[in-house]
Chains A and B, each alone.
Chain A
């Protein structure tokens, strides 16, 4: 059974404008699912809905989010928050802003273990040291006592990865975890996330708009357009024969590794028009009531 199961998730702005349109997707234990789509498609919004951090302007208006079979929406607020904190974790996009500048690194790794999961502080610290070693940080003792501004971006992302794995979550959501980093560091971090995910058998929802990354890390993927899942398939199938015209255009627009400068084509306007029409037709169906 999948550890994360999103069923017909609808998120709307307060004025009724839909940001996610009946999104469904599953992530099984140990599986890596990539979430791709252009900027503004709603990739981050899915992660936010799962982690309970939707922006104030947005509301979950339909569908279910099952975490380990448990419908999060039915839980009282406090229980939901703590359940999410215990079972899921986020690897954020920008390591430079995701650590609290006025707190030392150590407590930022151990805090969830101590405060939410009730570990003893020495145990949590021991665990944090192990994790820092696991993410290949030299002299973890020193790093635990450092402030974020004393460390490089790559180091900080390693720390955030360690922190995400600290409570042995069954699900990790990584929201473009390498886009804010140097190209050379990007590869190392990607490799590290993959390595950690495999060792811990974590389900991983990996948000990216880089199809090159998808082929390296994911087994399955969902293509999102305007908050709607356009295609949902295995990575193998996707690269061999994408079924949706938009997916094919997306694939064609991605630079090949053999020819990084070439084929940087835009998605053709005809394809955009077709997928827009599809979304509009879907909205009409919802309005007409033929879809709940």
Chain B
């Protein structure tokens, strides 16, 4: 019963959030200067041409009326047609979303792995030079934003020591036919490890650029929580039982220290997804973010609206997953 109510509340808030996001994006992109019609027509087009095109895309109506038309179409699954690409927004977004999802999740996994391992190592060697070194590395990682890390990585592993591809998602020369847009997932499922390798060669650098600052944030918070836990009485008791410090950190401290970090990861992951916009551009990675920039430059209103809605949906999903993980990991919540 409680679960049903919680789910219902969640569903309603999700709906309100999405609706709010829809209104904001709809109004904002119509208020800022710039006109999609003017971008489409050659210079010197007549007023009549402009008016005809405006009418075609429904841009001659009042903003409120436009919104009502758009939202009622969206509810029926029709997101409109891209002005520049002349394809249904839904197809465009669904085609690109998997690329961005794969990149974001890869970045998240890398960040959690690096940040987590660094925090655990620093806790094991607390007070020593190892901890000092890890702190310094974390400080450096935090001092640059993700896109600068992207540039640094391109310079390092793209130019000076060309280990990875600096642009794109997959080498066209591979000639591999995908049946879905989840390339990495599909290549793994079909055991085509040559394709996986090529995909990783493209994805690793942008993912790393996104992951480095997040890894540093995870390191700092998790290390702090772990250190606090290490003073707790149950840790001391575990020591008297004969356990090694490393297994105490993993088994006793980590589960008690991880909850704040989990919440933080949830919040930061939404920032990371936002960060894909620039990073995808930097690495010419064919994802949703890259498409979003084109859409904004071209004032492709229906496409922008579709992309923003999908991002908003992603963010609410991430929060939902975090909340569920939180409840699963915290026995006190589970029984409350």
Bound together, the chains give a CA A88 to CA B237 distance in angstroms of 12
| Contact residues, A30-85 vs B (CB, 8 A) | 51-53, 56, 78, 81-85
Contact residues in B for A82 (Cβ distance below 8 Å): 242
Instruction: Flag if A85 contacts B331 (CB, 8 Å).
Output: no
Taking a contact as CB atoms under 8 Å apart, the answer to whether B332 and A53 are in contact is: no
Q: Is the CB–CB distance between B127 and A85 below 8 Å?
A: no
Q: Which residue, of A88, A90, A97, A100, has the highest number of chain B Cβ atoms within 10 A?
A: A100
Q: Contact: A86 with B332, CB < 8 Å? A: no
Contact (A112, B335) CB under 8 Å given A53-B236, A100-B252: no
Pair B127/A56 contact, Cβ less than 8 Å: yes
> How many Å from the CB of B256 to the closest CB on chain A?
5
Taking a contact as CB atoms closer than 8 A, the residue among B237, B240, B247 that contacts A52 in the complex is B240
Which residues from A are CB-within-8-Å of B242? 81-86, 112, 115-116
Counting contact residues on chain A (CB < 8 A from B), the size range is: 20 to 34
A85 to B242 Cα, complex, angstroms: 4
* CB–CB B232/A102 < 8 A: no
Q: Are B241 and A94 in contact (CB under 8 A)?
A: no
The complex places the Cα of A88 from the Cα of B240 at a distance, in Å, of: 8
A210 on the interface (CB 8 Å rule)? no
Q: Are B255 and A103 in contact (CB under 8 A)?
A: yes
Please state if B239 and A98 are interface contacts (CB–CB under 8 Å). Answer: no
Chain B neighbourhood of A98, CB < 8 A: 233-234, 236-237
A49 to chain B, nearest CB (A): 12
Q: Using known A-B contacts A52-B239, A115-B243, determine if residue A102 contacts B331 with beta carbons closer than 8 Å.
A: yes
User: Which residues of B212-264 have CB atoms within 8 Å of chain A's CB atoms?
Assistant: 232-234, 236-244, 247, 252, 255-256
Chain A residue numbers with a CB within 8 Å of B243 are: 81, 85, 115-116
The answer to whether B234 and A97 have CB atoms under 8 Å apart is yes
Among the interface residues B237, B247, B330, which one has the most CB atoms of the partner chain A within 10 A? B237
Q: How far is the CB of A13 from chain B (nearest CB, A)?
A: 15
Contact B234 A89 (CB under 8 A): no
Contact of A97 among B233, B329, B332 (CB under 8 A): B233
Give Cα distance in the complex from A160 to B242, angstroms. Answer: 16
> Which residue of the partner chain B has the closest CB to A101?
B256
Beyond A53-B239, A81-B243, A94-B233: 4 further Cβ-contacts under 8 Å? A53-B240, A82-B242, A86-B242, A102-B255
User: Interface residues, chain A, CB within 8 Å of chain B?
Assistant: 51-53, 56, 78, 81-86, 88-90, 92-94, 97-103, 111-112, 115-116, 147, 149-150, 160
Pairs across A and B, CB under 8 Å, 23 listed: A51-B240, A81-B242, A81-B244, A82-B242, A83-B242, A86-B242, A90-B236, A93-B233, A94-B233, A97-B232, A99-B234, A100-B234, A100-B238, A101-B331, A102-B256, A102-B329, A102-B330, A103-B255, A112-B241, A115-B243, A147-B332, A149-B332, A149-B335
Q: Chain B: residues with CB nearer than 8 A to chain A?
A: 127, 232-234, 236-244, 247, 252, 255-256, 329-332, 335
